Amino acid sequence: MKKVAIITGSATGLGKQTAIALAKAGNQVVINYVHSQAAAEETAGLIQAKYEVDTLIVQGDMRQIDDVQRLVSETKARFGRIDILVHNAGPFIKEQKKLSEYDLSDWQSMIDGNLNSYFYLLHAVLPEMIKNQWGRIVMLGFEKVGNAPAWRYRSAYAASKSGAASLTRTVALEEAENGITVNMVCPGDIKGAFKEMTIKEAMQVPFEGKRRPGVGEDIARTIAFLCDEQSDYLTGSIIEVTGGKEVLAKRNQR
């Protein structure tokens, strides 16, 4: 029986590449979007044309608990199970602002979108995974989030994702006995069109030095590995996919 994967925010960007990677691995995929209906339909069509899996498209804002519950109920109604959750959706404020310049809505949006939404999803899918004694959960973070770092002008986002990192490790401990793994993947600086590029496409882009640009497929491959049947020994981990940025920086300082 094919496993069923929910990927939030999967109409475009990193989520789209993740949906493709999980479909390639043989999973039925649930594509979630808030506003990008046409893109979601395009992604679903691409998957169904290339892979022998079924897709489901569900609109919903993961900041809203009712939408989360509807996403889960529609998935169970269609496929009868939920095996994999990848929480990719989450807001980010591009404008650089100090905490003193934030208003309540800015703060609430970051916490709701990047932390509360994670709780809503976990609370909704864990009973199904516990019943099946199997599950794979992957949350998206940012570089060095596991150290709860300071991030100037990004206080609310950093706080919400740092909280999600702690939650990831906690639930990994709590649910190990039920065959459920919970991990966080932290992309490096992948921007714009690179989010939907494959590695092959990235090799065609002029770049300086020895490293090619990071792309969405790099993140999607890592997530697909964590969601594999045989990745049961890897849980509670925060994995940085940055092209060795930190290692290279330390080397250059010597």
CATH topology of domain 4-253: Rossmann fold (3.40.50)
The gap from C-alpha 178 to its chain's centroid, in whole angstroms, comes to: 22
pLDDT (average), residues 30-44 = 96
Which residues on adjacent β-strands are paired with residue 33?
A: 59
C-alpha R_g of the chain: 18
pLDDT for the residue 248 = 52
Tell me how far apart the alpha carbons of residues 136 and 193 are, in angstroms, rounded to a whole number.
28
pLDDT for the residue 199 = 82
Do the beta carbons of residue 195 and residue 150 sit within 8 Å?
Answer: no
Its pTM surpasses 0.95:
no
pLDDT for the residue 100 = 83
pLDDT (average), residues 105-118 = 91
CA angle (54, 58, 64) in 5-degree steps: 145
* Residue type (1 letter), 53: V
Which residues on adjacent β-strands are paired with residue 25?
A: none
* Total residue length of the chain: 254
Scanning 133-244, the segments in alpha helix (DSSP H) are 155-175, 199-202, 216-226
Confidence of residue 147 (pLDDT cuts 50, 70, 90): confident
Tell me how far apart the alpha carbons of residues 8 and 201 are, in angstroms, rounded to a whole number.
25
pLDDT (average), residues 116-127 = 97
Q: What are phi and psi of 116, to 5 degrees?
A: -60, -40
Strands 135-140 and 238-241: unpaired
